[in-house]
Amino acid sequence: MIGDVPMGGDNPIRIQSMTTIDTMDTMGSVEQTIRMVEAGCEYVRITAPSIKEAQNLQVIKDELRKRGYKVPLIADIHFTPNAAELAARIVEKVRVNPGNYADKKRFEEIEYTDASYDEELERIRKKFTPLVKICKEYGTAMRIGTNHGSLSDRIMSRYGDTPLGMVESALEFLRICEDLNYYNIVLSMKASNPLVMIQAYRLLVQKLDEEKFQPYPLHLGVTEAGDGEDGRIKSSVGIGTLLEDGLGDTIRVSLTEEPEAEVPVAQQLADRYVNRKASLFIPELKHYPINPFAYNRRLTYEVVNIGGHQVPRVIANLSNKEKITPASLFSLGYHYSVPLDKWNISDMACDFIFVGDRNIDFDIPGTLGIIYNFGSWLNNKNSERAYPLFTGVQYLNSNEVSPHLNFVQVQLAEVTNDLVTKLQSDTTAVLIILTSNDHGLAELRRLFVELIERSCKTPVIINRSYNMLLMEQFQLYAATDVGGLLIDGLGDGVMLDVLNGVSDKIVNETAFNILQATRTRISKTEYISCPSCGRTLFDLQETTAKIRSRTSHLKGIKIGIMGCIVNGPGEMADADYGYVGSGPGRITLYRGKEVVKRNVPSAQAVDQLIDLIKEDSNWIELQETVKI
């Protein structure tokens, strides 16, 4: 119970977000909270980094209640047990971070014996027990929220920067709560890398079962997801995959935008599961041959440039166009230069186009393959880089195939013994798998299991089609359905299409952004950018936009943009460079985990970040990114 709004069990997936206003700005916090509630927020989190902010939570709460808003408030605590103990007497829930509630992070590696480790746990117990007792007395809920970016030196020294370390960090605190008979608890395992986040939540649930803990509700979120479509897709890969696994009771989508902009995104992710009924058409699994706690890509043959050690490929569907011209390829990453009579190829240029029965009467770019329906391919089989698409029945019965590459489009029910037998001996075949099942991810996962259990090493393209979706819905759903498979090492390519007004450009970029979010194919700069909160020391939205405008052409570079020191250095362990607020108007620059420059004036910090990238020879001028 969090105030009057219960979580977990058969309750709906709850939506929450966090204020970005300074907590000492009472009216600003109240007005922003009201905007969040009116956008659909069911819980509101407010940072309380010290006693004075914790005290002001009462003033904020009183003003909200006076205006008729009873939304449960959550105090966000880092480093300060005394602030937590005060806040727990005021608000409906406190969030503690086990990585820094009782520890100061110094990035030290410490050799622990079992005895010295137990002494550390006893120290934590003494520091944490008063808060647990207050929460019991006042009926206050608690989130034990592990963050990949702020694991304690103790956890890092014993478990490393791993999902297991994240889980153990939470369980140390959870064991204290259960010893004190306190169970009004929510758990979270947040990370900026969706793969780490997913593995940590899955492992947490496994450990809760193994050690016979209560089945606690889960708060889902990808930290520092960024802004725009990148932030939405990255969040959907992490949150959506776990929701598809049946895990998750409340959602916070962390975008570098106003908090009320986060709420509709979270709501759309949750709404997919409101009326979804159990599927009767997917055969039950007796054994799952994929390790859900570690990434291993499914072993396949390499067919032309698909499968094996090749990056996942992107196929664009142009089969519904009345006529395909060179201009049709402009939105797919290809631009024709008339003066040079050459194609310019971007880093987000699709690898194949499916044209169905349409004709191509122009010279195609040298990196592009054309896929025809089998009947039309027979008329184009002598064309360069032209490949057939068979139905399952056509493939089994045809004697005429491409000597190089043959696509076979099937659904789960069509994966027969005869089909698998033929595929096993055909090193030119690539499957395109599709589904119309409401449980599409589950059905396609079941199809992959069928192939794995039969030792079939045919590469697989994941094909998802959607109808009547708005652009943002399409991005969220595709990131869930495709990203959830790629995260488990399943899939050698992506083919997306939408039967409505979503442009070819958006569809193509979404495919590449999903591959980027799952880190299976890097095609552009990645930004690890936190949402604003009351601790933020500069305008995150404006600064992120400024850094993105100067660096977005740097393919494969990861840049962390953090508003304060709380999670900054830890989350940026995964970044190449970091830009962290260290005081009003002051920035600290990082190379990986290493501090390079402290207290840089914010007016100079972006230029000095770029100078740092140039020092490492990782800078290229914008015009150099165009390939001809």
C-alpha 100/C-alpha 128 separation (Å) is: 12
Task: Give 471-522 pLDDT, tens digit per residue.
Answer: 999 999 999 999 999 999 999 999 999 988 799 999 999 999 999 999 999 8
Is the Cβ–Cβ distance between 146 and 101 less than 8 Å? no
15 in helix, strand or coil? strand
Give the whole-number percent of the chain exceeding pLDDT 70: 94
Strand residues in 406-451 grouped as ranges (E): 406-410, 429-433
Domain's final residue, options 486, 517, 548: 517
Chain-wide mean pLDDT for the chain?
Answer: 91
Q: Could you tell me if 264 and 354 lie in one domain?
A: no
Residue 457 resides in a domain: yes
What's the whole-number mean pLDDT along residues 329-344?
87
Per-residue confidence band for 572, with pLDDT thresholds at 50, 70 and 90: low
Q: In the prediction, which pLDDT does 628 show?
A: 34
Q: Could you tell me if 598 and 511 lie in one domain?
A: no
Per-residue confidence band for 547, with pLDDT thresholds at 50, 70 and 90: confident
Q: Could you tell me if 99 and 181 lie in one domain?
A: yes
Q: In the prediction, which pLDDT does 346 show?
A: 87
Per-residue confidence band for 576, with pLDDT thresholds at 50, 70 and 90: confident
What is the domain extent for residue 253?
14-271
Is the Cβ–Cβ distance between 437 and 415 less than 8 Å? no
Q: In the prediction, which pLDDT does 441 show?
A: 96
Is the Cβ–Cβ distance between 342 and 363 less than 8 Å? no
Q: Is the pLDDT of residue 552 over 50?
A: yes
Q: How many CB atoms lie within 10 A of CB 230?
A: 22
Q: Is the pLDDT of residue 229 over 50?
A: yes
Q: Specify the pairing of strand 594-601 against strand 586-591.
A: antiparallel
Q: Could you tell me if 590 and 549 lie in one domain?
A: yes
Q: Could you tell me if 508 and 530 lie in one domain?
A: no
C-alpha 59/C-alpha 474 separation (Å) is: 41
Q: Could you tell me if 506 and 584 lie in one domain?
A: no
Q: Is the dihedral of CA 268, 471, 487, 439 positive or negative?
A: positive
Is the Cβ–Cβ distance between 357 and 323 less than 8 Å? no
Residue 4 resides in a domain: no
Let me know the angle formed at the C-alpha of 48 by 47 and 54, rounded to the nearest 5 degrees.
Answer: 135
Contacts of residue 387, defined as CB under 8 A and 6 or more positions apart, other chains included, come to 352, 369, 370, 371, 372, 377, 402, 404, 405, 406, 407
What's the whole-number mean pLDDT along residues 203-231?
91
CATH code where residue 606 lies: 3.30.413.10
Burial 122-160 (b: 16+ CB within 10 A, else e): eebbeebeebbebbbeeebbbbbbbbbbbbbbbbbbbbe
What's the whole-number mean pLDDT along residues 153-178?
94
Domain's final residue, options 517, 548, 580: 517
Contacts of residue 370, defined as CB under 8 A and 6 or more positions apart, other chains included, come to 352, 353, 355, 360, 364, 380, 383, 385, 386, 387
Q: In the prediction, which pLDDT does 624 show?
A: 43
Q: Could you identify the residue written with the tokens 């496994």?
A: 206
Residue 1 resides in a domain: no
